[in-house]
C-alpha cells in the first residue's frame, strides 16, 4: 500500500506561499527513502495558476551553479530521481486559484523581485493577467506558444485576460477571492477560479500536459470541488454558472420545478438577475436563497461532470504519451458530494477538516468511501490539534502524539501522510517539519508491517452512510460550504439531518471493528450495496437512511431475510412510503441518541482491557491481521500508558493456527493460542502505542 508524504517542503519561519513550492534538493530524496515514503502529494509544479510559462520554469529552468552546490534540482530532475527510487511524484493542479503577484522589473522587464519586494526597479505585476497579454517578465514564454489560436469564451469572444474571464463572481459581479491561501500581510491577489468556465478547463488541461511531459507519476487535482467551494462565499453567479443552472432547470420535469418558476420562460432565465430583482444581497448564504437547494443540487452535479472531464483528460493525454498517469483528487474531508467522483481517481487524497488525536470513525469512513483505493490523508492546520502539537514538538514534547497520529492511519486503513514542510495556512509564518529521526522510525515500523494491510476487512459490523441524505444534511447545516472559514465537518454533527457520525464514532470507540459503506444516491452513481456484499456482516446499521432506492431496499431486505441483523437508527426510507415498513419489521429500530453499541451483543472481539484501545481487522486471504491502537495518553509523562496483559478473543471466518505479534521497535513474537469453536484467544503482554497481530491460517 502507498505510504504518503505531505511534501510541500515549505520553508520554516516563513509564509507558505501558494501556489509555487520551494525548489527541491537531492537530500530530500534521501529523506524520503529513509522514511519509506512511496507517494508525494502537494509535491511538484503548482505554479500553473501563476502562468504556464512560470510552470515550465518550475519544470525545466536551468539551476545556477551556486544552488547545485547544495543539490538543488528543477522539478523534472527531481521527478526523475524520485522515479529511480520508486517514489511517485504527483504534480498538483490548484484548480481554484488564479494568481497575481506584485513584482519589480528592470528596464529590460527582467524580474528583480516577485511577491516579496525589495524596493528596486519599476513596480508591476506578474500573473495570469500579464501572461494572457504576453506582458509578463522578459523570460516568460508568450501566451501564443501555448494557445496559438488563442482562446474564446462561451459567448464566442476572444479571451484577453484569463484572470478576469474565468473567476467566480458574486451577485454584484465582483470576483471572489481564495482567502484561505492569501497571506493577509502581502499584496498578492488570488481569484477564486471557476471550473464551470470552459476557458478555465482548457487552461487546466494545458497545465496537465506540461506536468505529464515533465514526467509526473500522477496529477493531483486540488480543490476538486471547484466551484462548489464558492458556496462558502455565497455561491458563484458568473455567466457560465448561470447558463449551466438555466440548462439544468430546462432538463427537469415540470413537477420538479419550484412554484416560483411557474410560467417562466426558462430559455432566457437568469438566476442572478432573478435574485437581484428580489432584493437579495451579494454573499447571502445559499441555503436561504430562493431556490437555493435546487441551485446546490445543480452545483454538485456540475462539479461532478467537470471533475470527470478533467480526470479523464489526464488519462487520455498520459496514454497519448505512452504512459498510464495516475489521477489523484483532493476530496477534502470526504464530504458526501465527493462520493460519485471517487470512480474518477486512482488515489483518494483527503485533507481533514479537523485533525484530532483520535478519530477512528472518520478514518473508517474515508476508507469506505475510497472503495478499495489507497487513501492518503493530510492533516489540517485549522480547527484541530495540529498547531498545539507543532508548538509542543518544537519544545521536544508530544513525540508520542505524532507517532500515534501516523500509526492511526496505518491501523484504520488509510495512509496518514508524513509531514514534510507541510502547510500551516496563510497566516502562520511556518511549516510543519517533524523530527526526521521520528519519521524514519515510524516509517520503518509501518513498512515492516505493510504486508499486513489491505482494503478488505474481516470486520463483522457495517454502518451505511446515506450519501443523498448527507448532502441534504450539509445544506441544512449552519453554513453550506467550508472554504471561507474552514468550518470543521465534525463540528456540524449536531446540525446534520443524519446521525451517522455519532453512530460510527460510538462503535469505533467501543473496541468494535467496523466498516463504513456509502449508500449512493440513486441519481449519482449505480448502486453497489447488495445483499451478497452485506452477507459477510453480522450487523448492518442504518443511521437515518431516509432516501433509499427501491433497488437498495430490496437488497437490504435480502440481507435481513438471509439472517443478517439490521439496526435502524432514526428514520428509514421515507421516500418508500409503507414499503419501508417491510424492513422495519425485520430490524431493531431505535431512536436517535439511543445506544447502538448495546445492541451489538454478539461481539466479534472482546478485550480484557478495553480502556482507550481501538481495533481494526484486515482479511488477507490465508491470514488476517488485527491492528490495535492505544489512545491512553498521559499528559504528565508525555507518553502513552501501556496496556499490559491484554487478553484478546476474536472470531474470524477462517481457521487460525498461529499468531505472531508485531510491535514498533521490537522483535516479532509468537503467541500462544487457545482455539475454541470459531474463536481464538491470546494474551498480549504489552501494547505501547501500536501493535499488529498476524493471524495465520495455514
Rounded Cα distance between 390 and 434, Å, is 8
Q: 422-475, pLDDT tens digit by residue?
A: 999 999 999 999 999 999 999 999 999 999 999 999 999 999 999 988 776 666
Q: 237-257, pLDDT tens digit by residue?
A: 999 999 999 999 999 999 899
Rounded Cα distance between 43 and 7, Å, is 5
- pLDDT for the residue 476: 59
Q: What does each C-alpha distance from 31 to 36, 156, 405, 441 come to in angstroms?
A: 9, 51, 20, 12
Q: Rounded mean pLDDT of 532-558? A: 97
Rounded Cα distance between 443 and 360, Å, is 20
Where do you find CATH 2.60.40.1180 in the chain?
605-696
- pLDDT for the residue 487: 34
Strand 218-222 versus strand 326-330 pairing type:
parallel
Q: 595-604, pLDDT tens digit by residue?
A: 999 999 999 9
Q: 185-208, pLDDT tens digit by residue?
A: 999 999 999 999 999 999 999 999
Q: Rounded mean pLDDT of 255-265? A: 91
Rounded Cα distance between 299 and 301, Å, is 5
Q: Can you give the three-state secondary structure of 157-207, one letter per residue?
A: CECCCHHHHCECECCCCCECECCCCCCCCCCCEEEEECCCCHHHHHHHHHH
Rounded Cα distance between 610 and 322, Å, is 53
Helix (H) or strand (E) segment spanning residue 374: strand 374-378
- pLDDT for the residue 478: 46
Provide the pLDDT confidence category of residue 670 given band limits of 50, 70 and 90.
Answer: very high
What is the overall mean pLDDT for the chain?
94
Whether 325 and 316 have beta carbons less than 8 Å apart is answered as no
Sheet (strand 565-572) strand order? 514-519, 461-466, 539-545, 565-572, 588-590
Percentage with pLDDT > 70 across the chain: 96
Q: 103-160, pLDDT tens digit by residue?
A: 999 999 999 999 999 999 999 999 999 999 999 999 999 999 999 999 999 999 999 9
- pLDDT for the residue 485: 35
Where do you find CATH 3.40.50 in the chain?
461-599
Q: Tell me how crowded residue 253 is: count the other CB atoms within 10 A of its CB.
A: 6
Q: What does each C-alpha distance from 388 to 6, 162, 399, 572, 633 come to in angstroms?
A: 19, 40, 12, 41, 15
Which is more confident, 254 or 662?
Answer: 662
Q: 466-525, pLDDT tens digit by residue?
A: 998 877 666 655 444 433 333 333 333 334 556 899 999 999 999 999 999 999 998 889
Cα 695 off chain centre by: 32
Give the gyration radius of the chain's Cα atoms: 26
Whether 90 and 328 have beta carbons less than 8 Å apart is answered as yes
Q: 146-189, pLDDT tens digit by residue?
A: 999 999 999 999 999 999 999 999 999 999 999 999 999 999 99
Contacts of 692 (CB under 8 A, 6+ apart): 411, 449, 452, 625, 626, 627, 628, 661, 662, 663
Degrees, nearest 5: CA angle 10-15-17 = 70
Q: 10-45, pLDDT tens digit by residue?
A: 999 999 999 999 999 999 999 999 999 999 999 999
Q: Tell me how crowded residue 246 is: count the other CB atoms within 10 A of its CB.
A: 17
Contacts of 636 (CB under 8 A, 6+ apart): none
CATH number of this structure's domain 461-599: 3.40.50
4-226+301-452 fold: TIM Barrel (3.20.20)
Question: Does the domain at residues 605-696 carry the CATH identifier 1.10.10.10?
Answer: no
Whether 603 and 679 have beta carbons less than 8 Å apart is answered as no
DSSP string for 467-523: HHHHHHHHHTSSSS--TTT---GGGGGGGSS--HHHHHHHHHTTT--EEEEEE--TT
Rounded Cα distance between 105 and 120, Å, is 8
- The pTM score is 0.95
* CA-CA-CA-CA torsion sign (261, 263, 265, 266): positive
Helix (H) or strand (E) segment spanning residue 436: helix 436-448
Whether 443 and 33 have beta carbons less than 8 Å apart is answered as no
Contacts of 362 (CB under 8 A, 6+ apart): 334, 352, 490
Q: What does each C-alpha distance from 276 to 166, 284, 308 come to in angstroms?
A: 22, 11, 32
Amino acid at each position: 500500500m502507498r505510504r504518503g508524504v505531505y511534501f510541500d517542503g515549505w520553508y520554516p519561519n516563513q509564509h507558505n506561499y501558494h501556489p509555487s513550492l520551494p525548489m527541491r534538493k537531492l537530500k530530500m530524496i534521501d529523506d524520503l527513502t529513509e522514511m519509506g515514503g512511496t507517494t508525494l502529494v502537494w509535491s511538484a509544479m503548482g505554479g500553473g495558476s501563476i502562468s504556464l510559462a512560470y510552470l515550465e520554469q518550475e519544470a525545466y529552468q536551468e539551476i545556477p551553479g551556486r544552488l547545485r552546490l547544495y543539490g538543488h534540482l528543477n522539478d523534472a530532475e527531481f521527478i526523475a530521481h524520485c522515479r529511480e527510487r520508486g517514489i511517485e511524484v504527483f504534480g498538483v493542479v490548484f484548480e481554484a486559484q488564479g494568481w497575481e503577484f506584485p513584482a519589480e522589473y528592470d528596464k529590460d522587464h527582467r524580474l528583480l523581485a516577485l511577491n516579496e519586494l525589495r524596493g528596486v526597479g519599476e513596480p508591476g505585476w506578474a500573473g495570469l493577467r500579464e501572461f494572457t497579454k504576453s506582458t509578463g517578465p522578459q523570460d516568460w514564454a508568450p501566451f501564443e506558444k501555448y494557445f496559438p489560436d488563442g482562446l474564446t469564451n462561451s459567448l464566442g469572444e476572444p479571451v484577453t485576460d484569463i484572470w478576469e474571464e474565468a473567476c467566480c463572481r458574486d451577485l454584484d459581479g465582483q470576483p471572489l477571492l481564495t482567502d484561505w491561501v492569501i497571506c493577509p500581510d502581502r499584496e498578492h491577489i488570488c481569484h477564486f477560479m471557476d471550473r464551470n468556465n470552459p476557458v478555465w478547463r482548457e487552461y487546466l488541461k494545458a497545465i496537465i500536459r506540461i506536468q505529464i511531459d515533465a514526467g509526473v507519476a500522477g496529477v493531483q487535482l486540488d480543490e476538486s470541488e471547484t466551484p462548489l467551494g464558492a458556496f462558502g462565499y455565497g455561491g458563484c453567479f458568473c455567466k457560465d454558472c448561470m447558463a449551466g443552472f438555466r440548462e439544468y432547470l430546462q432538463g427537469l420535469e415540470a413537477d420538479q420545478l419550484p412554484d416560483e418558476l411557474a410560467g417562466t420562460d426558462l430559455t432566457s432565465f437568469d438566476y442572478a438577475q432573478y435574485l437581484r430583482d428580489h432584493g437579495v444581497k451579494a454573499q447571502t448564504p445559499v441555503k436561504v436563497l430562493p431556490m437555493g437547494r435546487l441551485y446546490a443540487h445543480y452545483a454538485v452535479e456540475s462539479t461532478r461532470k467537470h471533475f470527470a472531464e478533467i480526470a479523464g483528460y489526464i488519462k487520455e493525454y498520459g496514454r497519448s504519451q505512452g504512459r498510464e498517469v495516475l489521477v489523484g483528487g483532493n476530496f477534502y474531508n470526504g464530504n458526501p458530494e465527493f462520493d460519485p467522483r471517487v470512480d474518477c481517481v486512482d488515489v483518494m487524497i483527503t485533507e481533514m477538516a479537523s485533525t484530532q488525536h483520535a478519530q477512528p470513525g472518520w478514518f473508517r469512513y474515508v476508507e469506505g468511501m475510497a472503495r478499495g483505493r489507497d487513501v492518503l490523508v493530510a492533516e489540517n492546520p485549522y480547527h484541530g490539534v495540529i498547531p498545539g502539537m507543532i508548538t509542543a514538538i518544537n519544545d521536544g514534547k508530544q513525540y508520542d502524539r505524532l507517532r500515534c497520529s501516523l500509526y492511526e492511519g496505518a491501523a484504520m486503513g488509510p495512509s496518514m501522510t508524513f509531514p514534510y514542510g507541510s502547510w500551516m495556512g496563510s497566516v502562520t509564518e511556518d511549516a510543519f517539519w517533524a523530527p526526521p529521526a521520528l519519521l524514519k522510525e515510524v516509517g520503518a515500523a509501518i513498512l515492516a508491517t505493510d504486508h499486513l494491510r489491505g482494503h478488505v476487512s474481516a470486520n463483522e459490523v457495517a454502518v451505511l452512510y446515506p450519501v443523498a441524505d448527507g448532502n441534504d444534511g450539509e445544506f441544512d447545516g449552519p453554513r453550506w460550504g467550508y472554504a471561507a472559514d474552514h468550518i470543521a465537518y465534525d463540528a456540524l454533527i449536531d446540525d446534520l439531518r443524519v446521525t451517522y457520525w455519532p453512530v460510527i464514532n460510538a462503535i469505533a470507540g467501543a473496541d468494535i471493528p467496523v466498516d463504513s459503506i456509502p449508500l449512493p444516491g440513486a441519481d449519482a452513481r449505480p448502486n453497489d450495496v447488495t445483499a451478497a456484499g452485506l452477507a459477510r456482516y453480522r450487523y448492518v446499521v442504518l443511521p437515518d437512511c431516509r432516501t433509499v432506492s427501491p433497488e437498495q431496499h430490496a437488497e437490504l431486505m435480502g440481507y435481513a431475510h438471509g439472517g443478517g441483523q439490521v439496526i435502524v437508527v432514526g428514520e428509514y426510507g421515507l421516500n418508500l412510503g409503507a414499503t419501508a415498513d417491510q424492513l422495519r419489521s425485520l430490524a431493531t429500530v431505535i431512536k436517535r441518541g439511543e445506544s447502538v453499541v448495546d445492541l451489538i451483543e454478539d461481539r466479534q472481539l472482546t478485550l480484557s482491557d478495553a480502556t482507550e484501545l481501538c481495533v481494526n481487522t484486515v482479511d488477507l486471504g490465508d491470514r488476517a491481521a488485527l491492528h490495535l491502537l492505544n489512545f491512553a495518553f498521559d499528559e504528565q509523562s508525555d507518553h502513552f500508558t501501556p496496556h499490559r496483559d491484554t487478553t484478546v478473543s476474536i472470531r474470524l471466518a477462517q481457521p487460525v493456527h498461529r499468531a505472531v505479534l508485531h510491535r514498533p521497535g521490537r522483535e516479532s513474537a509468537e503467541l500462544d493460542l487457545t482455539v475454541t469453536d470459531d474463536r481464538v484467544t491470546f494474551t498480549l503482554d504489552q501494547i505501547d502505542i501500536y501493535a499488529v497481530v498476524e493471524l495465520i491460517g495455514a
